[in-house]
Amino acid sequence: MIDNGTPRRTTGDVRHYRRGIFLLPSIITVGNMFCGYACVVFAMRNELTTAAPFIGFAVVLDMLDGRIARLTNTTSAFGLEFDSLADVISFGLAPAILAFAWGLSELGRVGWAAGFVFVTAAAMRLARFNIQTQAPLADKRYFIGMPSPAAAGVTAATVYAWPYPLVGPQAVAAVALVLIPAILMVSTIRFRSFKSINFGWTPSYINILLVAGLIALIATEPRITLVVISYGYLLSAFIEMALTRNRPSEPVAPPPPAA
């Protein structure tokens, strides 16, 4: 065979390439876990303005690792469990520590107990999610209970919008900030999954425009935009529930006449 100088990929190169693709989602998961750890560190130093955005970064990385794993066909049981453990840190422990530094510490035992309830609810929500995703008849359009990244986002957006520690009676607001999302996480209220939203164009470029507009709003007014997004998603489940109940039911067809 004549060698024309074209570089050829050997078997070792192919194996190295496949190994790198397989590890890519796990590397992103490590980044997610690092963001949760960094949030805890900065929250313990009372640098709330620096700590809160790390939860937002963790939400973005959590969305990426699963999508990349599906696109590269590298999903595995290890990746699922590793992602859940990272989410417990980033969306369970980190928001609780952030809320504790923000105002729960003023309430003593009541404060750290409320934070522990949030951590427990996040762990239960993640465990239930892993079970439901393996069910063959699971409805992919909805989440049963508020997703833990969204619940953590409510805490992070609130603290980022008002990064001043609460003192005295104001600390009660921190209890509501962790208990309400905790209850929603373990509830059976259905929250819409963004993967199933259809904007009416197929193929559609409207998604790109919406993402670009959202990035522009966050860059312009990050505090207001993040609060509107987090609380808007929290309220969306109740709005959809009210619309579904008020929607008139379809008429039932009469039974066929007897022979």
Task: Assess contact for 112 and 190: CB atoms under 8 A.
Answer: no
User: Which residue, chain included where needed, has tokens 């992103």?
Assistant: 28
pLDDT < 70 regions, the chain:
1-21, 134-139, 194-204, 247-259
Query: What global pTM score does this model have?
Result: 0.83
Q: Is 46 left (phi over 0), alpha (psi -120 to 50) or beta?
A: left
Please write the tens of the pLDDT for every residue from 91-147: 999 999 999 999 999 999 999 999 999 999 999 999 988 887 766 666 677 888 999
Task: For domain 17-246, give the fold.
Answer: Four Helix Bundle (Hemerythrin (Met), subunit A) (1.20.120)
Cα 104 to Cα 166: distance, rounded to the nearest angstrom: 8
Please give the structure tokens belonging to residue 98: 């952030």
